[in-house]
Amino acid sequence: MECQICGHFCQISEGKTGKCRMQTCANGILHERFADKYLALWPSAIETVPFLHYTPGGRYLLLSTLGCNLSCPGCVSHMLVDDPDLIAGALLKADPDEILNQVRDHSCLGVIFCLNEPSVSFHTLINTAKTLKKEGLLVGCASNGCMESPVLRQILPYLDMVNIGMKGLSDDVYRTCGSPCGVKQVLDNIKIIHDTRIHLEVSVVFEARREHEITNLARHLSYLSAEIPLHIMRFIPFNGADNDCEPAPDDAEKLVTQCKTWLNWVYLFNTPGTYNLSSYCPDCKTLLIERTFYGPMGARLTNRIYQSECTCGRTIPVFGEYYRNDGYEPRFRGGYRTSVLLDMVSGTLNQLGIYDKKVVSRVLVQILSGDWLEKLQTFFATPEGYIEYIRTLGQFADTQDLVHPLLGFYTERLEQITKFVTNLRHPRVFCALSHPYLASYPDKMEVALAARAGGDVLNYQISYTESRPHPLSREEFMALQPEIILCLGMGISDTSDFLHHCHIEGLLAPAIETEQVYCIPKKYPVSGIRWILALEYFANLLHPEIIRFSLEEDEKYLNTLLNDIQTNQTNTRI
């Protein structure tokens, strides 16, 4: 049987699947493998999808199935698409009526299919959308736009908004992603959506040295309308992608300016501290809607500044009402953060020598069940929590005895550092994400590590939290007067970048004057199994007169521990 959803036109024989692994043939008829089943099924603000010009702040039930008809290098959702069977056991069954009930229970405006390609679950999408539209609710989707045009035309009558995520503006890029079509078909589908008068936003991945593709896309979209919002997704190398493909934040900021030659509303994602997530009047540059960074491919309203019409008379093309969304989504529910979490857990299992797909699947399914997503948020916030996380994974994988030496090393170093710093003066430390106004949340691991390393961590004194995400003001930063600044996260390459931001803003603080600003080396990550090295690095920085850990030696020792665990895992399987 031939599947006609996309241009792969997979010939699917009895009991087999196509390229996306979501369609199968049974008794000579094509079926969805996981009809009415979802991995993600929770409420979130629309900006996490993202949509920026449609019911701002509105709460929607996010729906994610599994699978995709592309295989893009560095995909943030690769855990949902590369091997769907790995996490299929965690799928939640919910027919259209049950989805309708959940929308009402959570006081949502409607649903949005996102995180993976919705068209691979074509019948689930259509049936659910029909049910919700009958009840006057809103339906949207984020798609790669690579479905066949007749399929798109069947879906559009039941959609209110669409975000088409483009991979670039060349057939070479689409071939690299294993696309069933070239860029022309995606552009044709964008025109179909625009001509149907459905709300349209376009996202595009920006890889280093591909500025010309993005500016050409902006020019092409302007022929349809200069009012189409364009989201530039600065490439972040997830899933082992080439680090050289990540463009510098300054290059991405310049690209936004170039694209505004053609389009009025251009936004920059995956760049903490950028002002280009907010909406400014194209005529007089007045700030109209303020947004801030909110994880991979996500944004969030600060709820401080919102106006749909500028004082100069220019209106912003936003559909629907503004909703002040003060709701708080757990960190690993909403937007692409769930897929990032699954990648983190899978990576930890691999570092512990656990590669068996049945074991990995069992652990991931257990993590996705119950309240484990909320528990992991707590685990990842402190050293003690991370120790409990490793212990829990060992229990889930039935290998708890093998991780004891690693846990012993963690515990010994923690106790040693605590003893060292107890009676020392604690310098005033500020943890920032790439920009002086973007503080690390107080419940993040880097903040806990800085405190355990003997710092008086200022992040505990400010109101910047995930439920109150607006950046610091200049006055708030100046009041902190940090002696040491630790900066980390996407969008920062070295200390000079951070100091450059400080000088542009005219900031004064002891850390800036003495250049006691440190970008955390990538080889000492604050999250993940090597966090103990980051703790030692912090302790060396904060108390160089007392503490001098040999990071090179401890890195070798940690590698030996991990190698021993992996070897023992192999011997156990044999």
Domain containing residue 35: CATH number: 3.20.20.70
Q: Are residues 294 and 343 in the same domain?
A: no
Domain for residue 320, yes or no?
A: no
Domain for residue 18, yes or no?
A: no
Residue in the structure block whose two tokens are 């912090």:
538
Considering 306, 328, 353, which residue would you say is the last residue of a domain? Answer: 306
Beta strands at 279-280 and 266-269: parallel, antiparallel or unpaired: unpaired
Question: pLDDT digits over 16-37, tens only?
Answer: 999 999 999 999 999 999 999 9
Average pLDDT, the chain: 92
Q: Are residues 219 and 91 in the same domain?
A: yes
Q: Are residues 302 and 352 in the same domain?
A: no
Question: pLDDT digits over 426-481, tens only?
Answer: 999 999 988 899 899 899 999 999 999 999 999 999 876 666 667 888 999 999 99
- Give me the long-range contacts of 210-214 (CB less than 8 A, separation at least 24): 210/168, 211/251, 211/255, 211/258, 213/168, 213/169, 213/170, 213/173, 214/168, 214/169, 214/255, 214/259
Question: pLDDT digits over 75-111, tens only?
Answer: 888 888 888 899 999 999 999 999 999 999 999 999 9
Domain for residue 147, yes or no?
A: yes
Q: Are residues 440 and 485 in the same domain?
A: yes
- Cβ neighbour number for residue 253 with a 10 Å cutoff: 16
Question: pLDDT digits over 346-371, tens only?
Answer: 999 999 999 999 999 999 999 988 78
CA distance 398 to 391: 10
CA distance 334 to 295: 10
Q: Which domain holds residue 128?
A: 23-306
CA distance 56 to 568: 52
Q: Is 64 left (phi over 0), alpha (psi -120 to 50) or beta?
A: beta
The SS3 assignment for 354 reads: coil
φ/ψ (deg, to 5) at 554: -70, -30
Q: Are residues 341 and 249 in the same domain?
A: no
Q: At what angle do helices 357-368 and 372-379 cross, to 10 degrees?
A: 100
Domain for residue 2, yes or no?
A: no
229 pLDDT tier (thresholds 50, 70, 90): very high
Tokens of 100: 């309708």
Q: What is the mean pLDDT of residues 482-507?
A: 86
Q: What is the mean pLDDT of residues 187-201?
A: 98
Beta strands at 29-32 and 23-26: parallel, antiparallel or unpaired: antiparallel
Q: What pLDDT does residue 326 have? A: 62
Higher pLDDT, residue 239 or 126 = 126
Q: What is the mean pLDDT of residues 258-262?
A: 98
Q: Are residues 444 and 374 in the same domain?
A: yes
**CA 100 centroid distance within chain:** 27
Q: Are residues 135 and 41 in the same domain?
A: yes
Q: Are residues 237 and 107 in the same domain?
A: yes
Q: What pLDDT does residue 374 have? A: 84
Domain for residue 324, yes or no?
A: no
Q: What pLDDT does residue 569 have? A: 83
CA distance 392 to 135: 44
CA distance 207 to 74: 11
Question: pLDDT digits over 154-169, tens only?
Answer: 999 999 999 999 999 9
Tokens of 444: 């993040």
Burial of 15 (0-12, 13-18, 19+ CB in 10 A): exposed
Q: Are residues 224 and 352 in the same domain?
A: no
Q: Are residues 283 and 349 in the same domain?
A: no
Q: Are residues 299 and 373 in the same domain?
A: no
Q: Is the pLDDT of residue 493 over 80?
A: no
Domain containing residue 367: CATH number: 3.40.50.1980
Domain for residue 241, yes or no?
A: yes
Single out the residue of 19, 59, 57 nearest to residue 43, CA to CA. Answer: 59
Domain for residue 1, yes or no?
A: no
Domain for residue 111, yes or no?
A: yes
* Number of domains present in the structure of the chain: 2
Q: What is the DSSP track for 179-237?
A: -SS-HHHHHHHHHHHHHTT-EEEEEEEE-TT-HHHHHHHHHHHHHH-TTS-EEEEE---
Q: 238-252, 374-388, 428-442, 497-511: which range is least confident on average? A: 238-252
Q: What is the mean pLDDT of residues 321-350?
A: 80
Single out the residue of 426, 430, 428 nearest to residue 502, CA to CA. Answer: 430
Q: Are residues 340 and 265 in the same domain?
A: no
Q: What pLDDT does residue 426 have? A: 97
Q: Is the pLDDT of residue 74 over 60?
A: yes
- Predicted TM-score of the model (pTM): 0.91
